[in-house]
Every structure is written in C-alpha cells, then in structure tokens.
Structure 1
Amino acid sequence: MTGDTPAALNPDHHADVSGGWLRPAVFGAMDGLVTNIALIAGVGGGGVSARSIVLTGVAGLVAGAISMGLGEYTSVRTQNEQVAAEVAKERRELERFPEAEAHELVQTWTARGLPRELAEEVAAVLQRNPEEALRVHAREELGVDPDERPSPWTAAVSSFVCFSVGALVPLVTYLLGFEQLWLALGVGGVGLFVAGALVARFTNRSWWGSGLRQLLLGAAAAGATYVIGSLIGVNAA
C-alpha cells in the first residue's frame, strides 16, 4: 500500500473516544494543578509559614485525589447503569412491538433523506438479527453504543493519578527546600501551560493557545485566592 491509502481502511485511524480515560485524566490533572496552586496562593497570601503551606498542599493533594477518584468511579458507574437500564427497556420494546420499532427506524432514516424503500429494506433485515437491531436502536434513540461503555475503574484511576501529579507540581519547590511563594506559583504556571499544550495533541488545537488558556484560568484562580488570603491574614493579625 502507498502513503495515499484512505484512512478509513485503517481500523485504528480514529482515537479511542469511548475508553473513559481521557476526560477524567485531563480533568484530574487540571483540577489538581488549579486546586493546589490556588490553595498555596491563598495560604501564602495570608502570610503562613512554609511548613504550613506544605501541609496545606499535601492535604489538598490527598483529599482531592481520593475525592476525584471516588467521584469519577461513582459517576461513570451510574451512567453505565442508566444506559444498561435504557438498553434493557429497548430490548423489551423490540420483543413486544418489533413492527412499531422497525417503523420508528424507517421514519428516522427517511427524515434524514434515505429513500423509504431502502429504509424499509434495511429495517426488515435488522428484524432478523435481534442483537444488531438492539445496537442500532440504541445508537439511533439513545445515542450510545451498548458494547462501548467507559470503565469506571479506568476513569477513577486516571483521575486519581493525574490529580495527584497535577497537585504535586506547585509543591515541588517547597519540598526541595525553596520557600519563595512566587517560585512555587511560577512552577505551577509552567505546569498549567504544559498540561494545556499536551491536551492539544488530542484535540488538534494549537498547543500554545491551549496552554495559554489553561495558564490564564489558573492565574485567575490563584489571584482570587491570594487576594482573599491576604485580606484574611491582615484581618487576623
């Protein structure tokens, strides 16, 4: 084959969009970065010691990673259970009212421009294959593929690990013995930009635009908590 072979002939020419790892991984990493950058900015703005900043950051990392992992597992499992319930309902409808369900498919396809005769022929063929009919009805009516559901464990682990890594980034300078708040926030900002740039690999966005967007969002969060921390620290004094 030549380099001009159509991509459609390659079964792996599309990225895996149903595995359930990318969204929680990105969400976890960004949330870990922004959460701990904002926490460090807030307590640092309040004038606490470097030891207290490290304690706050580590507590935020552990609590946030556990919360993210449990939240992702529960949400993905709940979504899968809802999909399973709806697919079971569709299976019962196909068993009880096959003609009505076939007519529903015909109406859907003809509304999209398919010739009615062809739509009726395809629907009739599907009636002879109940499992394939169920998959087609699930895609057309529910917008899901019953055979491709995200794994709750994959989502949970991806979120837990990526949150932990993201939350660790702004703590690195303190753990290495540097006690300057601006240095920790600077490292956190670099982490946000790099994370945003890496995400662009999966979305075909410009790497610098994606990185800059994440940097600005994180900077806004850090700025808000720094101001609040400064006000509370002054008042407490």
Structure 2
Amino acid sequence: MTAPAAAEPTAADRRRWARYLVEERAEGTVYQRLAARRDGEEREILLSLAEAERRHEQHWLDLLGNEPARLPRAGLRSRMLGWMAGRFGSIFVLALAQSAEARSPYDTEAWASPAMRADEKVHYEVVRGLAARGRRRLSGSFRAAVFGANDGLVSNLALVLGIGATGVSSAFVLFSGIAGLLAGALSMGAGEFVSVRSQRELLASTEANDDAAASAADLDIDENELALVYRARGMDEAESLSRARKIVTAARAGVQHTSTGPVGTHHGTDHEIVGSDWTAAISSFLLFASGAIVPVLPWIFGLQGATAVIVALVLVGIALLSTGAMVGILSGGPPLRRAMRQLAIGFGAAAITYVLGLVFGVGAL
C-alpha cells in the first residue's frame, strides 16, 4: 500500500476509508450475485472481479487497523445494483456497473495504491466488455420493443391531441384514440408477419436439397456435373470435385448416401435467427398497443378537455422519459440526456399535430 509521506491519517481520512470499504464490499457482492446467475467464461470473469474487490477491501481494512465498530451504509446506487443483481442478473445491472466503474474515486485518493487505480480502469473495460456481449444479444429485441412502444406513444398522443384541438367531443377523441391504437397495432403486426414470413420463404427457396446427389448414379458426365452444384453453393473447385466424386462413387456402388449438407447451408440456424412470423406479429401488436393505450387513458376514465390533455401529456412524458433512460443505461450513455431527447422528440411531434388541429378547428367554425 502507499500513503502520503510523513502524513498521519485524520478522522476524516478514516471515515473516507470506511466508506471505501463498504463500497468495495457492495461491488464485490454485485459481481458474486451476477456470477451466480451465469456460467462458463462469464462466470469466471465475474468471480475474478469479485476477488479483486476483496483485495481492495483488505487494503482499507489494513489502513483502518481492524473492522470498525460502526460502518456507514453503502450508497444507494450500490445497494440498488446488489438488489437487482440478486433478482435479475440482467444487462441493465452490467450497464449500471459499467457507469459506476467509470467514476473511480481512487484517481484523486492519496491513500489508494497505484495497483488499485490500475485495477479500477481494468475493471471498467472488463465490465464494458461483458455489457457489450449482453447488448449484442439484446440489441434486436430491445430495438423492436423501444420502437414499437414509442411509436404507439407518440403517434397516438399526436392523434388524440390533434383531434381534440379541433373542438370535437370527448367521446369522439376517445373513439379516435382507440381506432388509432387498433389501426397502428394491426398495421405493425401485419407488417412484421409479412416481413418475417417473406424472409423465411426467401431462405427456404435458397436451401439446398439432395435431389442432385440422389441422381448421381445416373449421371453421364460423371462427378464433374455434380461438382458444379457445390461450386455454385460456394465451395472451391477442388473441394467440390472431391465431394462429388465421393457421392458418385457411393451411388454407383449402391451405397445409400446421407448428405451432411453442402457448404453455406444453415437450415435450422437461419430460420432460428429469423424467428416465428406469428411471434413477431403478436409481439409488434402488443408493443405498439402498450404504448398507444397510454395517451387514451384519461379519456377512458372519463376526463375531458384540458384536464384530459394535461394528464395524457404527463403519462406519456413519464413513459418517454423511462424508455429514453433505459436506452441511455443500455448504451452506456447519460440516461438523463437520452430521456430528455426522447421527451423532446415525442412532444415535438404531438405539438405539431395539436397546432394543426387548432388551425383546422378554427377554419371549420
């Protein structure tokens, strides 16, 4: 350990060491709980991080001399991370841990060792790497979820505000909101169904079959003709000819050939990546509907006029801020900035339709 030369620790130093001690313990607990919910390489990495946090903990214990009779509580962020890690073990925990590791206090702490400062920088990169793995696994589904819910929120808020600004009755606004919800959700679901079904059909049309190999015994140009099939599928000339020769020889000898699948064929994998058309359609329908129902809630519960509009804005604002903050957490960026960006975009679109509604409403009078 290193310490300032000829310096005696003050009471403030010891209080600060105690805070570092509980924070290191809390961080170690986070990594241990995350490791318990994983296996393989990720588990080993997380356990190594927990062990490093124990070394840092011991550093502060050595400076304190022994376990203090009273220790402060860990910070709210650390306690929240520990709670989430024990129950979810999700990418959100790693993303938050990444943000926590980025703000190490040891860079300006004279009583921290150079090894500890280096450890914290390494920990940040390690956690960022683990979080990146989770982001890659989550990126497609999370993008679809954010897009679907936000589309429902913004489009239906814009619709009900624009319709409401024309001066029509609350019942008409409610009907418009429900119609917008159903129309948008059905459109999203149908679009996803057609998109996924078309992609699956496209993949199916490119899948290889064994028709050519089954006719190998009757070929009159020996294996060269069959080799063209494999060359067309991406094999090089030598490998294509070798495989064709084996198939023709086996066929002419009367041996039943079992194909292992030509190069470039990923039957199960491609379809697994594309997913189910019905699952995609239903998910898109529900995601859009979950967002689109929020702006309509005030009218569903009987509110009218300016009161309904204000409540709708508050509810949608909370939802937009929440999705924006989640995007910020997952991307490793500042959650508040992402949340405010989401809010500005959503309210901006709604404001335009509201103004148009006022113009058309005045023009109709």
- TM-score w.r.t. length of structure 1: 0.70
Q: 1:82 aligns with which of 202, 207, 225?
A: 202
Aligned position for 1:177: 302
Q: Is the CA contact (8 Å cut-off) linking 1:25 and 1:155 kept in structure 2?
A: no
> Which moves more between the two structures, 182-191 or 17-26?
17-26
Cα deviation, residue 147, structure 1: 4.7
Contact 2:208 2:261 in 1 (8 A): no
Residue 55 of structure 1 pairs with residue 175 of structure 2: yes
Question: How big is the shift at 1:95?
Answer: 6.0
State how many pairs are aligned: 208
SS of equivalent to 2:167: coil
What letter matches 2:279 in structure 1? T
Q: Once the 2 structures are TM-superposed, how far is the Cα of residue 165 of structure 1 from its aligned partner?
A: 1.1
What corresponds to 2:230 in structure 1?
A: 98
**How far apart are the structure 1 equivalents of 2:155 and 2:319?**
13
Task: Judge conservation of contact 2:230–2:263 (CA < 8 Å) in 1.
Answer: no
Task: Say whether 1:220 aligns with 2:220.
Answer: no
Counterparts of 1:1-237 in structure 2, within 5 Å, are 1=44, 3-4=47-48, 14=134, 17=137, 21-88=141-208, 96-98=228-230, 101-103=234-236, 130-131=260-261, 133-135=263-265, 145=270, 147-179=272-304, 180=307, 181-200=309-328, 202-237=330-365
1:85 Cα offset (Å): 2.2
Query: Aligned in 2, Cα 1:208/1:102: closer, same or farther, shift over 3 Å?
Result: same
Q: 1:45 to 1:147 in 2, by over 3 A?
A: closer
2: CA distance, partners of 1:95 / 1:157: 44
**Residues 120-148 of structure 1 deviation map (CA, whole Å, 9 limit, x = unaligned):** 99xx99xx985373247x9xxxxx84552
- Counterpart amino acid of 1:51? A
| Residue 14 (structure 2) aligns with | none
In structure 2, how many angstroms separate the alpha carbons of the residues matched to 1:76 and 1:82? 10
Percent identity over the alignment is 37
CA gap of 1:103–1:96, structure 2 versus 1, over 3 A, is: closer
Which one-letter code corresponds to 1:148 in the other structure? I
User: Retained in 2: the 8 A contact 1:28–1:166?
Assistant: yes
Structure 1 stretches of 5 or more lacking a match?
A: 105-119, 139-143
- The code of the aligned residue for 1:103 comes to D
How far apart, CA to CA, are the structure 1 residues paired with 2:272 and 2:194?
A: 20
185-194 or 157-166, which deviates more: 185-194
Report if the CA contact (8 A) 1:18-1:148 is conserved: no
- Counterpart secondary structure, 1:133: coil
Q: Which runs of structure 1 show a deviation greater than 6 angstroms over 4 or more consecutive aligned residues? A: none
Q: Aligned Cα RMSD in Å?
A: 3.8
Structure 1 pair 201/84, CA: closer, same or farther in 2 (3 Å)?
farther
Higher RCO by CA contacts (8 Å cutoff, separation 6 or greater)? 1
* Structure 2: gaps spanning 5 or more residues: 1-43, 50-125, 213-225, 247-258
1-side partners of 2:156 and 2:344: how far apart? 15
Q: Which amino acid aligns with 1:165?
A: S
Q: Comparing 174-183 with 226-235, which one deviates more in the overlay?
A: 174-183
Question: Which segment drifts farther, 166-175 or 180-189?
Answer: 180-189
Give 1:162's aligned amino acid. L
- Paired with 1:55 and 1:147, the residues of 2 have a C-alpha distance of 40
Mapped contact 2:174–2:296 kept (Cα < 8 A)? yes
Q: Cα 1:46–1:99, aligned 2, differ >3 Å: closer, same or farther?
A: closer
Q: Distance in 1 between matches of 2:227 and 2:290?
A: 49
